[in-house]
Structure formats: C-alpha cells, structure tokens
Chain A
C-alpha cells in the first residue's frame, strides 16, 4: 500500500537555526499539506499546496516558514530561524484528486519530531 514518508524522524536543533523537514507524498497525489501537533495536543493546520503554489496558510505559518516542491516528488517545510515554541511533531499529508474530490481522505506521514533547544 502506498504511503507518505517523512525524514528525519527526529530533528534536534538550536534556537535560531534553520531546519528543513522532508516529505515524499504518494506519487499520484496532487494536494499536499503540513500540519503540526504540539505534544499531546490538537493537530493544527499549517499550509496547503496545490499546483505548485500555496493554496492556504494558517496564522502559524508566518514569514519564518516556507514550503517547496523542488523536484516533483519531495515536499519540504523550511523553518528559517527556529524558536522554542516550534518544538512539535510535524505531519505531512497528501490527497489525490478524483471524482470523489474533497470526499477523499488525506494520507498522513509518520511525522518528524522537531525539538528546539
């Protein structure tokens, strides 16, 4: 069964450093998302990406965040200057496009745990 993969599984960084979280969505999917979950809390939407551009972003997704699909397979989330409060589990998700459209469910990756010291 196809799956979304994410690397690394755990990233530890110093405050102020840049991090790049990587995701490989399912190959025929067209919609891509990043969500985050602060330990044990709600899963929060960060950004959606479709047709090589951001479709929607949340208030959390400020100028320190960016996304890119550099080569048609990877989907990355960059945080330019990490803050302590960026420590969370970051989930990538993808969704197909089809007749069922928005009735289809997202497939989530296993997550990257980001720890900012």
Chain B
C-alpha cells in the first residue's frame, strides 16, 4: 500500500539558515509527489510537485525539493529560512489509480518554526 512518512513532528531553524523538512514514501510504480503548506487557520496551499524529469524541483516562496529514488525520499528545502515560513508542511503522494480519481494521501505533517 502507498504511504508517506514525515519523521519529524517539529523542525526549528533560525532565520537565515537553511532548512530541510524530511519525507519518505512507499509506492508501487512511479511516484507523483507533492508538498503542501498550511498556515494557521488556513487551507492547504500547493508548494511544488515531482512528476518526472529533474530530481530537483522548484516551487513557491523559494522552496525546492529533491527526489531521491534510491532513498525513496522527497525532502523539502530552502536555502535561507524566513520567519514567515513558519507553518505546517505536508508531504503527499498520489496513489496510482490509472484514469480514475486517484487520491492524494498525506504524511502526518511537520511543524516548521523559524525563530528570528
């Protein structure tokens, strides 16, 4: 069964430092991987996705993620963190269902806290 894991409940980083939010996945076949962000009392906003091609994908707000097939990982990164990046981050994978309405399943979420 497809699954996605975020091993860290919380990540704390000082402003200006690089940040990494970890994600590993388990899927059959080629994965479709996503990162979403949730700010307090808000919905889920799409950040970036990996479908195929370059292993390093760039997304919104300066975030990027690296797809590593051998390690089955899709870690989210940013070179220089901002206080405004503080939010809940979800890694997600699309289940393989062919042409039907295949769903996204989410990891448990990682709370990113950036201190000034």
Contact = CB atoms under 8 A, between A and B. Distances in A.
Contacts, number: 66
26 contacts: A33-B103, A35-B106, A42-B106, A42-B109, A43-B44, A43-B106, A43-B109, A45-B103, A45-B104, A48-B100, A48-B102, A55-B100, A56-B100, A95-B101, A100-B51, A102-B102, A103-B32, A103-B49, A103-B51, A103-B52, A107-B46, A108-B36, A108-B43, A108-B45, A108-B46, A109-B43
Interface string B73-116: 00000000000000000100010110111111111110000000
A68 interface: no
Interface residues of B, number: 26
B99 to A, nearest CB: 7
Given A42-B106, A43-B90, A102-B32, A110 B43 contact: yes
Contact of B34 (A91, A105, A111): A105
Contacts of A43: 44, 90, 106, 109
A91 B101 contact: no
Nearest to B88: A40
Most chain B CB within 10 A, of A43, A95, A107, A109, is at A43
Interface in A1-41: 31-33, 35, 41
Contacts of B105: 45
A91 B96 CA distance: 22
A93 B105 CA distance: 13
Interface of A: 31-33, 35, 41-45, 48-50, 55-56, 91, 93, 95, 100-103, 105-111
Interface of B: 32, 34, 36, 42-46, 49, 51-52, 90, 94, 96-97, 99-109
Contact of A56 (B43, B49, B101, B109): B101
A49 B100 CA distance: 9
B109 to A, nearest CB: 6
